Amino acid sequence: MRLDKFLKVSRIIKRRTVAKEACDKGIVTINGKLAKSSSEVNIGDILEIQFGEKLMKFEIKEIKEHVLKNDAKEMFEIIE
């Protein structure tokens, strides 16, 4: 699954266009490497996103095309 779609479906970032902009600004990494919005994500990948002053780390647990809002948080685990 594309990174921008995963961020939207998992509700880490609410809109896909915002996820794309975050990737374009260079504030998203996958396994320590700068990520493009078109980068593919896999189960077990570590995402790092710089939200202002705060760095958030997530581990991908599941990848689903469609998910209910209440189940979205099961797609990832917050590491930091």
pLDDT in tens, 67-79: 999 999 999 999 9
- Residue 34 gets the label, from left (phi > 0), alpha (psi -120 to 50) or beta, of beta
pLDDT band at 47 (very low <50, low <70, confident <90, very high): very high
Residue 80's pLDDT is what? Answer: 83
Can you read off the two tokens belonging to residue 79? 């590491």
Regarding pTM above 0.85, the answer is: yes
Which CATH code fits 1-76?
3.10.290.10
| Block residue for tokens 């479906």 | 9
